[in-house]
Amino acid sequence: MRAGSDEPRTAERKHHHLPIEASRVHWGYFSRSLQPQLEIASGDTITIETLTQHASDDPELMITGDAAAESVFGWTRARKNVDRRGAGPMDASVFGRGAGEGFGVHICTGPVAVKDAQPGDVLEVRILDIVPRASRHPKHSGRVFGSSVAAWWGYHYGEFLAGPKPREVVTIYEIFDEAVAPHARALYSYRWEPQTDPSGVVHATYDYPGIPVLPGTVKRRHDVLDGIRIPLRPHFGVIAVAPREVDFIDSVPPSYFGGNLDNWRLGKGATVYLPVSVPGALLSVGDPHATQGDGELSGTAIECSMTGTFEVILHKKTDLAGRPFADLSYPLIETETDWVLTGFSHPNYLAEFGAQGQSEVYAKSSLDLAMKDAFRKMRRFLMNVKGLSEDEAIALMSAAVDFGVTQVVDGNWGVHAIISKRLFHQDDS
Amino acid sequence: MRAGSDEPRTAERKHHHLPIEASRVHWGYFSRSLQPQLEIASGDTITIETLTQHASDDPELMITGDAAAESVFGWTRARKNVDRRGAGPMDASVFGRGAGEGFGVHICTGPVAVKDAQPGDVLEVRILDIVPRASRHPKHSGRVFGSSVAAWWGYHYGEFLAGPKPREVVTIYEIFDEAVAPHARALYSYRWEPQTDPSGVVHATYDYPGIPVLPGTVKRRHDVLDGIRIPLRPHFGVIAVAPREVDFIDSVPPSYFGGNLDNWRLGKGATVYLPVSVPGALLSVGDPHATQGDGELSGTAIECSMTGTFEVILHKKTDLAGRPFADLSYPLIETETDWVLTGFSHPNYLAEFGAQGQSEVYAKSSLDLAMKDAFRKMRRFLMNVKGLSEDEAIALMSAAVDFGVTQVVDGNWGVHAIISKRLFHQDDS
């Protein structure tokens, strides 16, 4: 199962490459029992290819001609290369959507095992580079495309002004990542029409990932967002280690293990620290985004296949004292300028809700709960990491911490708290 | 009642100056029946002095020697220069705190009448400059000070980790606004102790504005936020026109008329558009802030007396079509780079809750409600002002609009929605 990797050697940093194809992804779920694709050592770097689960919104632009994408999305009546999509039952006995039921949607590449990682350790994942994956279709070769869906899980879905109500809308974008001001422009959009998947199941809504949308089954509108250039913020929506509580976790709700954080600050140059829960950590990456607003209102970003290069550093439990990520119980993001703490409606919904967690969390999300969590985490960070008293921490939060809405569409809604690193590192000028 | 103003003349822009003193403020409330301090014409500029209601947290640093501040804060057993503080009863028959009961806390300078302004018009208020007001105490002359209170209305107040529970903490800052990187540094802090005001009322908590805190009544701690420099974001917490619904409005909950917006983006170079509700508009400014984080978590910013210079432009109802502020029903902020739309838990709590509005709004605030309002306002803005379809607006919001927490302490909690102006004005490079 090892792909493009070398065995790590002591005291020597290795570079690994994890290309993508059907056998190297888990689609729509995390699991502590997945076999690692490869093992790396602390300090190694790794290039991980990822695909957007929305490539099937326009297969010609985003799948055709790309052997890896064709492998992952490959699906005929006779054969579905990646059968399980989601953490639901393989026999689709709940809704009949397909194997895994689409309870979780993200194509995740991995997992990658980290040598010597044990529960209680912290995994530092530095994002060294992010490069969009260009089309390999002969007619579009070298161009980059993405898709965004205003879907039934979007925040707006119960709020339509005009009919038809409800409706789902897919917008296809071209990505100009090499422009002086990198941006996306809309190419066309279409309203979702019932799609019959290759297995013969009809999807009246966008309820299962990877359904190929063929020309002629939808009506394309080309005069969409004319003249508007959307600045890029390339990042990975999903960076996860495997959770400990249960097996087969829906990839949608983020939590203490990371996962579908959907925070655009996780771009090139940023780092995320994740608490290790299982031996080997089992790092996975996916859900590549060309850009996203805080909120991710419609339910998706501009989703766009991308390849990331990461430096992965393991911090052993016994070496954490005095470090910013000591006593870490949630994904902590560090950018060039800021610390970004991730608050959730339910910080560990798997533990909180038990066996029903994966459905309960969707019903009980609230920005008010996420704000409370972000507040508590920032107070703890300022006290434990920065050595402030509780009174100092409260004062500083009021004067200098910015709370923002991360997302209101991922089951476990998020509020982040940002504090500038500059406050603590200033000369006397 | 006119102060430092000239009568406006046709076709000639005038500059006005509204200095502060006791007769030129309304403390803790807005009212449609206040006599204007002066009248200005559309296109005029005006310099308005404002005082922080927290100057009394250290009278020596922020009041003594400053004749204007001494006038506003002047309070002896025999005489209280500004008796009404808040929209409550003058006989303090609810809690016995003092006249107006502190139902509303902000010292507002004004109101300023705008010639020809009528309900349905829009008032554009451009913030041309903001200058901190230096101490005029001989020992501290030229230095600038501010105060922040972690108060009973703060978000943290029910959440203390350590005792004593609960407690209120005042932090006094020095403001270095002329530094290369303008910043604030904490000087000292103290825990609130029961204070006897000059009228003899004992205030066990920070429940009435302008109580002079005298040295010896509190214990100062000087090792506070050592080495931390907090970057400045000077802005006015309160910019308001008079609301139409009722008289004597608590200054704390912001709403459609502006008021206590507490958004740090209302700084130098920014503009706020306010819907005019009463003849003359009745513009007031106050609650000056040296800086604040999104959230204003403890209940206050770093409050610091400042003087603003504004250009005020009246847009008549009949001339609004096609303008970004056509059909405006809320405070719309424009900065050099962004449009910032202000969402509230209750967009017009006075209309929504009727006679009990000013108490109900405190009980029913929620970020979830404020998010819904911000979403609806941004969708409407993108459709009505930018000419997008509903589907385009939803797509753009997901890709490019940032939702953030404005404040969770002002009764009517706020979420703002930000979209970059750059998206709509780009060349072909």
Structure tokens at B94: 């609810």
Q: Which residues of B touch A398 (CB under 8 A)?
A: 148, 150, 154, 292-293, 295-301
Distance from CA of B117 to the nearest CA of A (A): 33
Q: Which residues of A touch B294 (CB under 8 A)?
A: 401-404
What is the per-residue pLDDT across A350-367, written as a single tens digit (0 to 9) for each?
999 987 778 889 988 999
The answer to whether the beta carbons of residues A309 and A45 sit under 8 Å apart is yes
State whether residue A405 sits within 8 Å of chain B by CB: yes
Name the H helices within A33-102.
59-62, 67-73
What is the per-residue pLDDT across B361-379, written as a single tens digit (0 to 9) for each?
998 899 999 999 999 999 9
**CA–CA separation, A270 and A55 (whole Å):** 26
Name the pLDDT band for B427 (thresholds 50, 70, 90).
low
Across the interface, do B400 and A186 touch by the CB < 8 Å criterion?
no
| pLDDT of A89 over the 80 cut | yes
Q: Which residues of B touch A376 (CB under 8 A)?
A: 159
What residues of chain A, 201 to 260, have a C-beta less than 8 Å from chain B?
Answer: 224-225, 227-231
Q: What is the mean pLDDT of chain B?
A: 95
Q: Which residues of A touch B402 (CB under 8 A)?
A: 293-295, 404
Mutual angle of helices A367-380 and B367-380, in 10-degree steps = 110
Structure tokens at A135: 């089309």
**CA–CA separation, B142 and B291 (whole Å):** 19
Name the pLDDT band for B279 (thresholds 50, 70, 90).
very high
Best mutation target among A190, A226, A391 (most B Cβ atoms within 10 Å) is A391
Three-class DSSP category at B14: coil
For residue A425, what pLDDT is reported? Answer: 80
Count of A-B CB contacts under 8 Å = 224
Which domains, and CATH codes, for chain B? Answer: 15-363 (2.60.120.580)
| pLDDT of B313 over the 50 cut | yes
Across the interface, do B368 and A371 touch by the CB < 8 Å criterion?
no
Q: What is the mean pLDDT of chain A?
A: 95
b/e burial code for range B135-169 (CB count within 10 A of at least 16 → b): bbbeebeeebbbbbbbbbbbbbbeeeeeeeeebbb
For residue B3, what pLDDT is reported? Answer: 41
For residue A426, what pLDDT is reported? Answer: 62
Name the pLDDT band for B402 (thresholds 50, 70, 90).
very high
Q: Which residues of A touch B391 (CB under 8 A)?
A: 150, 167, 169, 189, 191
Across the interface, do B402 and A404 touch by the CB < 8 Å criterion?
yes
For residue B156, what pLDDT is reported? Answer: 98
For residue A34, what pLDDT is reported? Answer: 98
What is the per-residue pLDDT across A171-186, written as a single tens digit (0 to 9) for each?
999 999 999 999 999 9
Across the interface, do B371 and A156 touch by the CB < 8 Å criterion?
no
Lowest mean pLDDT among A161-170, B81-90, B211-220, B349-358: B349-358
The answer to whether the beta carbons of residues A217 and A252 sit under 8 Å apart is no
Lowest mean pLDDT among B106-110, B356-360, B387-391: B356-360
Q: How far apart are the first and last CA of chain A?
A: 56
State whether residue B178 sits within 8 Å of chain A by CB: no
Across the interface, do A395 and B298 touch by the CB < 8 Å criterion?
yes
| pLDDT of A10 over the 90 cut | no
| pLDDT of A242 over the 80 cut | yes
| pLDDT of B356 over the 90 cut | no
State whether residue A161 sits within 8 Å of chain B by CB: yes
For residue A4, what pLDDT is reported? Answer: 40
Q: Which residues of A touch B171 (CB under 8 A)?
A: 395
Across the interface, do A181 and B426 touch by the CB < 8 Å criterion?
yes
Q: Beta-carbon neighbour count of residue A246 at 10 Å?
A: 15
| pLDDT of A8 over the 80 cut | no
- Name the β-bridge partners of B313: B124
Mean pLDDT across B121-137? 98
State whether residue B161 sits within 8 Å of chain A by CB: yes
Taking CA–CA distances from A191, the nearest residue in chain B reads: B391
Name the pLDDT band for A429 (thresholds 50, 70, 90).
very low
- Cβ-nearest to A300 among B171, B179, B398: B398
Global ipTM: 0.96
What is the per-residue pLDDT across B148-168, written as a single tens digit (0 to 9) for each?
999 999 999 999 999 999 999
